A and B are shown apart, each in its own frame.
Chain A
């Protein structure tokens, strides 16, 4: 069975969140700007296939926090297929291990914003320190 080296539609990916304004605890949801690509239209995610909760958070502590210089507060989990549905490509981009870029964002700003909203609505918020239901 292929491991995380391959990227399949059903594989889980996560977007680590380090700002409170990127999610709503009241609505238990991730907000669209959490999925805003950089100016060169790249979004950074991690592939979490076969990782347990501790290992998933360890990825953030080891690789994301030193780079962002911020503590991770939560994450938005979703499947690769949620990106692919909107014509986006999830492409492995290592190091760090399990890192991937989401590419192929629409050039038109308003379409990009719409895609960000759809992806955020599909994401599951997981807060650090809160057990997964």
Chain B
């Protein structure tokens, strides 16, 4: 892809190469952001523990959900974003304890909240993603 956008939903399954790319992106942002102040403005480091939790999260995404863009947040969390258009976007930020902070715009509607990622991705999160791609 020439841009960092999520692929169209018509691609109903996640190609292994797509997931590999996302895992590489996770590794890359984890490596690049592993020290405090990685942005020169006080950003917090992404810990190894968080990278491991984030990898589990990525691998547990349902196959019908396109892989997200993966980036470090300035507060040291890992962000997953599905960006379709300005008012069709869903973002999740994960911390090392497994807290998932999420926010989404679904046309005129919006939603935000928190869930915990423990053994599996919470149903609420999957429902939001299904709504985004419906």
| A residues apposed to B, CB below 8 Å | 20-21, 24-27, 29-33, 36-40, 108-111, 113-114, 116-118, 120-121
Q: Is the interface of B mostly helix, strand, loop or mixed?
A: strand
Bound-state CA distance A36–B93 (Å) is 12
Taking CB atoms, residues of chain A closer than 8 Å to B83 are 24, 31-32
Are the C-beta atoms of B81 and A39 separated by less than 8 Å?
A: no
Q: How far is the CA of A63 from the CA of B81 in the complex (A)?
A: 30
Size of B's binding interface in residues, CB under 8 A: 34
Q: CA of A40 to CA of B43 in the docked complex: distance in angstroms?
A: 9
Instruction: Give the A-B pair count, Cβ closer than 8 A.
Output: 82
Interface centre among B74, B76, B110, B114 (most CB of A within 10 A): B74
B residues adjacent to A (C-beta < 8 A): 3-5, 39, 41-44, 69, 71, 73-77, 79, 81, 83, 85-87, 89, 91, 93, 101-105, 110-114
Q: Considering residues A27, A37, A40, which has the most beta carbons from chain B within 10 angstroms of its beta carbon?
A: A27
Q: Is the CB of B5 within 8 A of A26?
A: yes
CB-nearest residue of chain B to A25: B3
A13 to B85, CA, bound (A): 22
